[in-house]
Amino acid sequence: MVNKVGNIFIVGIGPGDRQMMTDEAFSAMEDADVIVGYTVYIDLVKNVFADKRFFTTPMRQEVERCRACFDFALQGENVAFICSGDAGVYGMAAPMYELLPEYVSKGFPADNILVIPGVTAAISGAAVLGAPINHDFCVISLSDLLTPWEVIEKRLKAAIDGDFAIALYNPSSKKRSDYLKRACQIMLDAGADENRACGYVENIGRDGTKSTVCTLSQLKDTEVNMFTTVFIGNSKSEIIEGKLVTKRGYLI
Amino acid sequence: MVNKVGNIFIVGIGPGDRQMMTDEAFSAMEDADVIVGYTVYIDLVKNVFADKRFFTTPMRQEVERCRACFDFALQGENVAFICSGDAGVYGMAAPMYELLPEYVSKGFPADNILVIPGVTAAISGAAVLGAPINHDFCVISLSDLLTPWEVIEKRLKAAIDGDFAIALYNPSSKKRSDYLKRACQIMLDAGADENRACGYVENIGRDGTKSTVCTLSQLKDTEVNMFTTVFIGNSKSEIIEGKLVTKRGYLI
Q: What is the pLDDT of residues B185-229, one digit of tens each?
A: 999 999 999 999 999 999 998 889 999 999 999 999 999 998 999
**Section B10-22 average pLDDT:** 94
**Section B144-159 average pLDDT:** 97
Helix axes A179-189, A149-161, angle to 10 degrees: 40
Helix axes A62-74, A93-104, angle to 10 degrees: 50
What residues in A contact B163, CB-CB < 8 Å? 151, 154-155
Contact between A89 and B123 using a beta-carbon 8 Å cutoff: yes
Contact between A89 and B130 using a beta-carbon 8 Å cutoff: no
Q: What is the pLDDT of residues A65-121, one digit of tens each?
A: 999 999 999 999 999 999 999 999 999 999 999 999 999 999 999 999 999 999 999
**Facing residue for B241 by CB, picked from A21, A100, A158:** A100
**Section B22-40 average pLDDT:** 96
Q: What is the pLDDT of residues A41-59, one digit of tens each?
A: 898 899 889 889 999 988 7
Interface test with A, best of B13, B21, B24 (most A CBs within 10 A): B24
B93 touches chain A (CB under 8 A): yes
The residue of chain A with its CA nearest to that of B125 is A117
Sort residue A207 into left (φ over 0), alpha (ψ -120 to 50) or beta.
beta
What residues in A contact B249, CB-CB < 8 Å? 146-147
pLDDT at B1 over 60: no
What residues in B contact A154, CB-CB < 8 Å? 161-163
Distances (CA, A) of A121 to A221, A222, B190: 22, 20, 30
Residue A18: phi and psi, rounded to 5, are -55, -35
Tell me the shortest Cα–Cα distance from A85 to chain B, in angstroms: 10
Q: Chain A, 6-45: which have a CB under 8 Å from a chain B CB?
A: 12, 14, 18-24, 27
* Pairing mode of beta strands A8-12, A113-116: parallel
Q: Where are the beta strands (DSSP E) in chain A?
A: 8-12, 34-38, 53-57, 79-83, 113-116, 130-131, 137-141, 165-169, 197-202, 210-215, 228-232, 238-240, 243-245
Q: Chain B, 194-233: which have a CB under 8 Å from a chain A CB?
A: none
Name the band, by pLDDT with cuts 50, 70 and 90, for residue A207: confident
Contact between A123 and B126 using a beta-carbon 8 Å cutoff: no
Q: What is the spatial order of strands in the sheet that B243-245 belongs to? A: B130-131, B243-245, B238-240
**Section A219-247 average pLDDT:** 97
What is the SS3 assignment for A21?
A: coil
CB B10 within 8 A of CB B83: yes
Tell me the shortest Cα–Cα distance from A35 to chain B, in angstroms: 19
